[in-house]
Amino acid sequence: MGISDEKVVAVIMVGGPTKGTRFRPLSLNIPKPLFPLAGQPMVHHPISACKRIPNLAQIYLVGFYEEREFAMYVSSISTELRVPVRYLREDKPHGSAGGLYNFRDLIMEDNPSHIFLLNCDVCCSFPLPEMLEAHKRYGGMGTILVIKVSAESASEFGELVADPVTNELLHYTEKPETFVSDRINCGVYVFTPDIFTAIQGVSSRRKDRANLRRLSSFEALQSATRNPPSDFVRLDQDILTPFAGKKKLYTYETMDFWEQIKTPGKSLKCSGLHLAQFRFTSPNLLASGDGTKTATIIGEVNIHPSAKVHPSAKIGPNVSISANARIGAGVRLISCIILDGVEIMENAVVFHAIVGWKSSIGKWSRVQAEGDYKAKLGITILGEAVTVEDEVVVTNSIVLPHKTLNVSVQDEILL
């Protein structure tokens, strides 16, 4: 196979409903991977990044959601990007590497020379073509996207040590108790098909160990609770850690932004990061206006074509407005996500907030927060069909769906 004939496939791990609990109340309405960031579903950002990979043959989404939840999106994105996208549902948890191995026959159908593996809840610039070029130069089994972070936050992620000259991965440890390195794993990888042999090796060794033990029934029970099933293989502990320092794995460091989207607060931050990235990748998706015929736009803003925004409104920075939203006269929006069918009436103010589907915010009301993306109540979230009546202030609060607020609230979770 010549270099120009080499095919690449991408696999994006999208998780499942049990994994989205920290994303409530937003994940009550929609699978987390389909929640809009910068006006597009979360999973759209890694998918569109994959489109830039040379010789891309296929994109697979792997997760635990029902197929019907992704059917419409997969069909539309395949048509839009003119790349086959397919959703594969896992029957049970296989681990991050085991999930890849579980679908190896499908993934290898196109006989790809390289396989990208991405996590859906990662927000970054996805330098995938550059990663692939570096990976080919290194000549190993896999290359990991890494980034430098503060020493204080490094322990929340997989820390690693790489050779400063060759970029070989020398040491890897997942969420260590003591500081190892300020370089962390970004959850984006490129592998050769040799990764399947490595995963199979882990699985086989685990089976062999289980077969060799001649245990009493009590010991067997104890062992079963300690050891995962043989087909459950974790990429970090079972592949990255043991293969580090064996000239098999390498790193590619990004100097751009990176975040993990675990909570609604982080989703708002990441929506802003994607909007800022549009300046370079998709400026056509950003709104503009000076307050004469259209609303005044400040910074990066995305407005769905079907949304109606009054010319006297002032929007931005970091605002995305979804389909069929109605934004009234004199409204001020800063750092917020406005979802489908929302109505915001005259002179209302929304900042550091996510306003849920079909919600309504009355005249002269304020929906606001401090904007601490890490804090539980750092942004205000209104679930679906929440009504905030006129002249009500909602601060640092989470409001579950179908509630009506006629008095002001602060620092509350309203069930």
Q: What is the pLDDT of residues 79-94, one digit of tens each?
A: 998 989 999 999 888 8
- 3-state secondary structure (DSSP) of residue 33: helix
How far is C-alpha 226 from the chain's CA centre?
A: 30
- Non-local CB neighbours of 399 within 8 Å, separated by 6+ positions: 380, 381, 382, 383, 386, 405, 409, 414
Overall pTM > 0.75: yes
| Mean pLDDT in residue range 341-370 | 97
- Evaluate if residue 175 carries a pLDDT over 80: no
pLDDT tens-digit series, residues 13-58: 998 876 556 778 888 888 899 999 999 999 999 999 999 999 999 9
Q: What is the pLDDT of residues 58-70, one digit of tens each?
A: 999 999 899 999 9
Phi and psi at 86, nearest 5°, equal -135, 140
Strands (DSSP E) contained in 69-228 are 85-89, 114-119, 122-124, 142-148, 158-162, 169-174, 183-191
Distance set, CA 377 to CA 352, 370, 398 (Å): 11, 9, 7
Residue-level pLDDT at 212: 55
Q: Output DSSP code: residue 19.
A: G
Tokens at residue 389, please? Answer: 């009546």
Q: Which domains does the chain have, with CATH numbers?
A: 8-262 (3.90.550.10), 265-410 (2.160.10.10)
**Nearest-10 Cα torsion for 377, 317, 14, 95:** -60
User: Does the pLDDT at position 379 exceed 50?
Assistant: yes
Q: What is the pLDDT of residue 25?
A: 86
Name the percent of the chain lying above pLDDT 70: 92
Give residue 126's region: left, alpha or beta (phi > 0; psi -120 to 50).
left
Residue 310 banded pLDDT, cuts 50, 70, 90: very high
Contacts of 193 (CB under 8 A, 6+ apart): 108, 112, 113, 115
Determine the Cα–Cα distance for residues 22 and 38; give it in Å rounded to an integer: 20
